[in-house]
Amino acid sequence: MGRSRLEAFSDGVFAVAITLLALDLTVAGPEGTGSLTDQLQEKWPAFLAYLISFFMIGVIWVNHHALIRQVTKVNRTLLFLNLVLLLFVVLIPFSTAIVADYFSRHNWDTRVAMMIYGGVFLGMSAAFGAIFEWTLHGERMYQPLPPEQHWPARVRFVSGGLIYLAAIVIALVSDVASFVLIAVTAVYYVFERTPSSPGASDGGDEEQPVT
């Protein structure tokens, strides 16, 4: 399978996931209780959760593109690691909807919703880290990361997962603090970059065998 097919399939999943987020941005309309302003105020958790999830999917899409474009050949291991990543990506709209529905209650259900939300991001982070780890071995990249930079790069990926793990634990005590931590992490990753490879050529779109 060529790198272009992997990217095209992944881009389709990212596009569907990011579109599904908007389906929960609804109000009751004239038949609902209160004015439109009141209904919008009641839905603020849904809007905020939408923004966080939108940017998280967007960030992982950007980083996914930056990483995959450096790959010299796609094999079965990469395909399955990529599927695991997409598994958690498509769960983001589900977890976002749960947070939107339960966040304003500030009870045990809210804490469970936040643990699910953080768990999905933790899974996504771990899956992306696994893909990154795959790129560190063998002649799999146009311009491999120097060996001395392997562990610093690993620490960057692990730290993100640890933040989501902390958010899950914190949710047991405070759903608000957990939500804020995930939101801050989303903002951080908007500015954090996956190292690009100036050595990657535009010729990587040709078909490559799956091994």
Is the pLDDT higher at 129 or at 31?
A: 129
pLDDT digits (tens, 9 = 90+) for 150-183: 888 888 777 888 999 999 999 999 999 999 999 9
| CB count in 10 Å sphere of residue 209 | 9
> Quick one: the chain helix, strand, coil %, rounded to 5?
75, 0, 25
In the structure, what pLDDT confidence band is assigned to residue 193 with cuts at 50, 70 and 90?
low
Q: What percentage of the chain exceeds 70 in pLDDT?
A: 87
How distant, in Å, are the alpha carbons of 33, 78, 144, 168 from that of 129? 46, 12, 16, 19
pLDDT digits (tens, 9 = 90+) for 40-54: 777 787 888 899 999
pLDDT of 209 strictly over 60: no
Copy the structure tokens of residue 113: 């919703």
pLDDT of 189 strictly over 80: no
Q: What percentage of the chain exceeds 90 in pLDDT?
A: 49
pLDDT of 92 strictly over 90: yes
Q: With contact defined as beta carbons under 8 Å apart, do 3 and 75 qualify?
A: no
In the structure, what pLDDT confidence band is assigned to residue 146 with cuts at 50, 70 and 90?
confident
The pTM score is: 0.83
How many alpha carbons fall within 13 Å on the CB side of residue 43? 20
pLDDT of residue 151: 85
Please measure the distance between the N-terminal and C-terminal CA atoms of the chain and give it in whole angstroms: 9
